[in-house]
Amino acid sequence: MSNHLFDAIRAAASGDAPFIRVNGGRTWTYMDALDLSGRIASAMDTLGIRPGDRVAVQVDKSSEALILYLACLRSGAVYLPLNTAYTLAELDYFIGDAEPRLVVVSSSAREGVSTIAEPHGAIVETLDADGTGSLLDLARDEQADFVDASRTADDLAAILYTSGTTGRSKGAMLTHGNLLSNALTLRNYWRVTADDRLIHALPIFHTHGLFVATNVTLLAGASMFLLPKFDPDEVVSLMAQATLLMGVPTFYVRLLQSPRLDRQAVANMRLFISGSAPLLAETHVEFRKRTGLAILERYGMTETNMNTSNPYDGDRIAGTVGFPLPGVTVRVTDPATGTEVAPEETGMIEIKGPNVFKGYWRMAEKTAAEFTADGYFISGDLGKIDGQGYVHIVGRSKDLVISGGYNIYPKEVEGEIDQLEGVAESAVIGVPHPDFGEGVTAIVVCKPDATLDEKAILGALQDRLARYKQPKRIIFTEDLPRNTMGKVQKNVLRQKYADLYT
C-alpha cells in the first residue's frame, strides 16, 4: 500500500546513517527511527487508532516525540501538535474541537488532562522528555514491521491550530501532499543534502520546527542536532560540526550578543535561515558584518507552509522575504476590490499552490471566506512586490492603523524608529482616539544605557514621516510581548493601552 508522505521519507532514509544526534547523548540512525516508529504505530493500532483518527500531542521536545510524529504518518492518523504552554482550559477547547482518539502528554500532566480528555472519548497515554512513558511501554512489546496505512496526497496528515489572536483558534488541515510538496521544494531550493547537519533548536509543535526543519531533514536523508531549546553558547559550540541553522529572529539577536560569534565560529556553516517573525534589517546587516554570511529570510504561514524565500544564490535583501517558491504563486491585491495592484503598491497578499492547506477543520464557511473565486488563499498579510520581484511583508491586516481616515502601515513607522540611535526595537499599534479614531502609538524598547525620551523620538521623526503617520505617543518598555515563535503580540499591546487617549 502507498503512504504518500512516509513512502518518500522511507525512500530518502539510509539505514545506518545518523538522523538525530542528541548532544551528550544518543545518536539515532534512520533504522532506529524506522524501528521505533513502527512499534509506536503498532501500539496505536492496538489501542484502536485508525486512519483518519486524530492524535493530539502535548509533550516536551525529544527524539521520541519526533518519532511519534513519524508513527502517526505511518498509521494514517492525523497528527495534532499542541503548544506545551497551553493550559487545561485551552486544551479543553482543542480536544473538544478536534475530538482526538488519543492524547499524548507528559506523565506529570496525565491526571489533569484525563479529566478533560476522557469525557470526549479520548485515550490518554504519556511520553516524557527522557524517553519514558506509557506509550513507549506499550510500544516495547509490539512488532517493528508495521504495515503502513494507505494514504493519498489528499488525505490529512496534520491539523495545526492557529494562534487565535482574534476569535476562536482555527484548525488548519494539512494534507500529505501539502507537506511533501513543500518539503521537497525547500530541500531543493536550499540545496539540502545527506551531508547536511542541522542545528534544531526550534519547538516541534509549530510549522517551522516540525514541517520545515524536520521534514526537510528527513527528505534529504540529512541529520540534526536536536536541542531541547535554544541556547546561544551551545549553538555556537555546535557550529563546528553543523552546516545549517533554522531559527527565528530572536535566535540571531541573541547570537550577536555572544563574543564567540565570528567568522571562525561559522567557518563550517553553509546556511542560516530565519522566519516566523520579521527580521530587523539591523540584525541582518550586523550578522553579515560579524560572520561574512547573509541570513536567508523566508515567509510562511500555518495554513500554507512556506511561500517565499530569499535566493540561495543571489542577493538576500534585508527587509524582504524573497521570491515565490517554485510552484507557488503570490499576488498582491486591493483589499476592497480584490484586483491585483501594480508593483511597489501595498495590498493583501494572496497565495496559490500545492502547499496551501485544505481548509479549516469543521469550519466550512470560514474556509470559503478565506479563498477567492479563482482559488487563492487570502493570507491576511499586507505586503508588496517590488520592481525586482522581491516580496515585502508590511504587516497583518488586523494591525493596520486607520487614523483620521488615513491608512498607516506600522512597519513603515517601526522602520524609522528602529533606525534611531539607542532604539533596540519598536512596535507600532493603533488604539482608540477620540479625535482620530485610532491614535498611532509606538511602544519602544531602548538599548542598555540609552537616554532617549518621548520628545527626542518624536522630534527625530518629524522630517522622516508624514504628519499623519507620526505617533501621538511614545511608550517605553523593557521588552515586547512575544509568542513562542518570537512574533510580537500586538493584540496584547492594544489591550494594555486601550485607554491611553481616554
For residue 126, the surrounding DSSP H or E stretch is strand 123-126
For residue range 82-132, what is the model confidence (pLDDT) as tens digits?
A: 988 888 988 999 999 999 999 999 999 999 999 999 999 999 999 999 999
Q: Domains in the chain, start-ordered, CATH in brackets?
A: 29-190 (3.40.50.12780), 230-396 (3.40.50.12780), 400-497 (3.30.300.30)
410 closest CA partner among 383, 385, 380: 383
For residue range 20-71, what is the model confidence (pLDDT) as tens digits?
A: 999 878 999 999 999 999 999 999 999 999 999 999 999 999 999 999 999 9
- Strands in 296-301's sheet, in edge-to-edge order, are 27-29, 18-21, 223-226, 197-200, 244-247, 271-274, 296-301, 305-309, 323-324
pTM above 0.85, yes or no: yes
C-alpha cell at 145: 514491521
DSSP 28-90: EEHHHHHHHHHHHHHHHHHTT--TT-EEEEE----HHHHHHHHHHHHHTPEEEE--TT--HHH
Which pLDDT belongs to residue 165? 45
How far apart CA 309 and CA 306 sit, in angstroms, is 8
